[in-house]
Amino acid sequence: MAALKLVKWPKILLFGDSITQFCFSAEGCWGTLLADHFQRRADIVSRGFSGYNTRQSLALLPHLATDLKDAVGATIFLGANDASDIANTQQTVPLQEYVQNLKDIVVYFQKAGIDPILISPPALDGQSWHNSCMESGRVYLKDEKITATYARACSEAAEEIKVPCIDFHTAMINQDNWQGLLCDGLHLSRRGSELLAALLVPVLEKHLKERVPSQQLFPPWDEIDNNDPSSSFVEWCNKN
């Protein structure tokens, strides 16, 4: 009996901090929206790590070898934690190191055969995040101007190394009532998630058009021989 031809299911890896970690939540649902768009064409795999900066994320990558297998594309969404006041010694990363870390993360993915896309840190609503910190007993260690500087540096780094980039910071502040794109001044609301997904989908489609099938994998239900479905799947696999 001839061996069955197996279909390789591509993966798109979402790599980042808490905004990625909660990308399947009710508010931060941009990962869910991507998964819906790419259903039966690619798996969306979220690997978000709350509180991580680029220094920590770069050191983490070798431990994610299994996640990188069969991944064809990746989003890199880091910088909101790097862009902290220097008093936040656990998270802040100097601007030049942040840029170099982004470049090194991109190279790491590329060497693994993965096409990456950068996403700049989102805009920060300092007053709302300050209020949130007060309510939770945390110290406010963010700054809107620092965040804007890191976002701009992310876009410039992407241009320099010639990888696609979503300038999410600029896209946000160009929206009416952009503060409503955030649920607490730092993390995305549902509206913010919808904006990010809308920006990402066309970029991912273009960037990965040779690596993600344009049609859903496996035949539509009404093209399957209900009396002999196994033969229908074998025939489809041999054609694709």
Q: What confidence score (pLDDT) does residue 97 get? A: 98
Whole-model pTM: value is 0.94
Residue 5, domain member (yes or no): no
Active-site residue (options: 18, 46, 57, 155): 18
State yes or no: is 70 an active-site residue. Answer: no
CATH number at residue 163: 3.40.50.1110
Residue 79, domain member (yes or no): yes
| Residue closest to 156 by CA, chosen among 142, 143, 141, 170 | 170
Task: Categorise residue 42: left if φ over 0, alpha if ψ from -120 to 50, beta otherwise.
Answer: beta
* Torsion of the alpha carbons at 177, 179, 182 and 186, rounded to the nearest 10: 160
* Torsion of the alpha carbons at 86, 91, 93 and 95, rounded to the nearest 10: -80
Q: What confidence score (pLDDT) does residue 1 get? A: 42
Active-site residue (options: 46, 187, 189, 207): 187
Residue 15, domain member (yes or no): yes
| Residue closest to 103 by CA, chosen among 164, 20, 161, 159 | 161
Residue 173, domain member (yes or no): yes
State yes or no: is 130 an active-site residue. Answer: no
What does the DSSP assignment read for 34-58? HHHHTTTT-EEEEEE-TT--HHHHH
State yes or no: is 155 an active-site residue. Answer: no
**Domain of 57?**
11-209
Q: 232, exposed or middle or buried, with CB in 10 Å at 0-12, 13-18, 19+?
A: middle
Residue by residue, pLDDT tens for the chain (240 residues) are: 455 667 788 999 999 999 999 999 999 999 999 999 999 999 999 999 999 999 999 999 999 988 898 899 999 999 999 999 988 999 999 999 999 999 999 999 999 999 999 999 999 999 999 998 888 888 888 999 999 999 999 999 999 999 999 999 999 999 999 999 999 999 999 999 999 999 999 999 999 999 999 999 999 999 999 999 999 989 988 887
Residue 108, domain member (yes or no): yes
Active-site residue (options: 67, 70, 143, 184): 184
Residue 132, domain member (yes or no): yes
- Provide the number of structural domains found in the chain: 1
